Each structure stands twice: as C-alpha cells, then as structure tokens.
Amino acid sequence: MLDYTLLRKGAYLPCEDEYIIVGDVHGCIDELRQLLLQNGFHINQDGLIDPDSSSKSIILLGDFVDKGSEKKIAQTIEFIYQNYYHLNRDKSRFYLIMGNHEDMIYRYITNDPSLDIKSPKRQEEKRKYYNSADLLERDSELKEKFLMLHRESFPWLKYLYDEHFSVTLTHAPCQEQYLAKDNADAYKKMIKSVSRSKNPNRTLDELIPYLHQEAKENQHYHVFGHLSQPNIRQYKNKICIDTSAIYGNRLSCLLLKERALDFDSTPFLNQQKSATQQYNLLFDFAY
Ligand SMILES: [Mn+2]
C-alpha cells in the first residue's frame, strides 16, 4: 500500500494567477520545453526558466515519468526538479499533481512491501510499464530528486473563481463523490482509474460510465489526463487533456486565466522512439 498520509493534501489555487496546465509528459522533455516556449517562457542554456518571462504558473497533471527513453526521462526529472525549486523561490509558480506512474515508481524504488516486487508478475510489469524504476535504482542522485518531487505532489488542485466558475485538476478522471476530497480512498481514485489494458473488450465510456453520466452543462470543470487520447476530449464540464505525446501525437495544455479556458499543443518532436498504443476513445458517442 502507498502510505497516503505521506501525500500532500489537495489545495486551492490563487485565482489572481494564470496557469498553464500540461497533460501527461511521459519523458517528452523536448515537447514540454517547446510548449513552454510557445507560451512565452524563456529558458536559458542551463535549462532554467526565466520567472519574469511569463506571468503564468506551471502545473503538471501527473505521469511525467515512464514510457519515454531513459535519457529523456532523466532529462525530464532534472528539468522539473531544477525549475520546481527555481520558480517556487518567492511564491508558488510550479505545481505537480500525482499521477499513477509517479505513485508506482515511488512504490518500486522504496520497496513497498505490499507490492511483492520480487514476483515474476511484478518484475514483468516493471519492465513493461515502469521503465523509470530501473533508471532511478541505478542513479541515486536522480532517485533523490524524484523522491523530492514525489513528496511535493498534490492529489488534486482546485481553482475556484466564483460560484459560477471553477476548475478542479486531478491526474485521472474519478467520480464526483471522490473529487477534491482528502482521504486515502479518494486519493486512490483521483490518481488512477480502471485499467484499459485489463479490460480490452470494453469501450472507455463503458468502463467509466460515471464520467459522462455525471457531466453537467456548467462551468465547474473537471480537467484530467491519464487516458491517452488522439485529441483533447470534452463532454460538458469534463475535459481530458492527455493527447498522447509519447505515442507520437501531441503534448497539450490548458491555459487558465480568470473565467476563460484556452488550449494549446505541440507535436511529438521525434527526439526519441515513440511508444505504441491503440486508442480507446473517450466520449465516443453521438451527442
Ligand atoms: Mn496515468
């Protein structure tokens, strides 16, 4: 079991700030840098973001590790680590949300006794889905940096502008009864939803019916990643911004300022081998 008491509690974001909220990076460091550059940030030769180059705060929606090449995952962790402490020196400008991959990597590299790490099944899973674990086990400095970022991650963040407009951010979609709640059960649901690979014959809308059933025509948005999609998927107030960068598609972000949502994205830059997947489309119904 992950000790959810170690996880930071969720938090409310200052509404006077504006935000760039980036979906699942999975080692796509070149695309992350490009997305920040095209949104006004300057990055110096040492990889440091100039805090005065943009008034936006950065939020990563979780799953910045795994799937990418080891080299790119290492660069991603270094970039996030150095800029996390650099940008947050005077005030909060960089936030991290916990993804299921950060959660699992943490459990592997801290030898979570409930994981039964030595079992062939776990070893196979580690090799197949959690390739950052091996890298961090070989590089103790990088592992320390990852552990510090893991400790800083939030299960949820909420931007509550007024009674008509709010945006709740989590890594995975979840039922509203768990959304922005602070207990171990809710954290689990906000970090990971039902596995698609274990349910290959069911559509995503069948697997997580609560998402479209609970969707409402209002401006209390729930924005999440986790379910890699070919494009940004929105149904009413539910929005998925994981557009499959590491699968060779695009890295996307939500831009949030006052009562307005905007979106941007950048294509996969082919600086590493892309992963493969079959799209299982969210909100794949006529509406
Ligand atoms: Mn995920």
Flag whether 210 is in a domain: yes
162 C-alpha vs ligand 1 centroid, how far in Å? Answer: 29
Q: How many distinct structural domains can be found in the chain?
A: 1
Flag whether 4 is in a domain: no
Cβ burial 198-213 (10 Å sphere, 16+ → b, else e): eeeeeebbebbeebbe
Flag whether 131 is in a domain: yes
198 C-alpha vs ligand 1 centroid, how far in Å? Answer: 14
Q: Can you list the alpha helix ranges (DSSP code H) found in 113-264?
A: 120-129, 131-138, 140-152, 184-191, 204-207, 209-214
52 C-alpha vs ligand 1 centroid, how far in Å? Answer: 31
Flag whether 6 is in a domain: no
What's the predicted TM-score (pTM) here? Answer: 0.97
158 C-alpha vs ligand 1 centroid, how far in Å? Answer: 19
Domain range spanning residue 205? 13-267
Flag whether 191 is in a domain: yes
119 C-alpha vs ligand 1 centroid, how far in Å? Answer: 23
**CATH classification at residue 20:** 3.60.21.10
Q: How many residues does the chain have?
A: 287
Interval 161-202: pLDDT, tens: 999 999 999 999 999 999 999 999 999 999 999 878 788 888
Q: Using 50, 70 and 90 to split pLDDT, how confident is the model at 287? A: low
101 C-alpha vs ligand 1 centroid, how far in Å? Answer: 6
44 C-alpha vs ligand 1 centroid, how far in Å? Answer: 30
pLDDT above 60 (res 233)? yes
Interval 127-156: pLDDT, tens: 999 999 999 999 999 999 999 999 999 999
Contact 170, 224 (CB under 8 A): yes
189 C-alpha vs ligand 1 centroid, how far in Å? Answer: 12
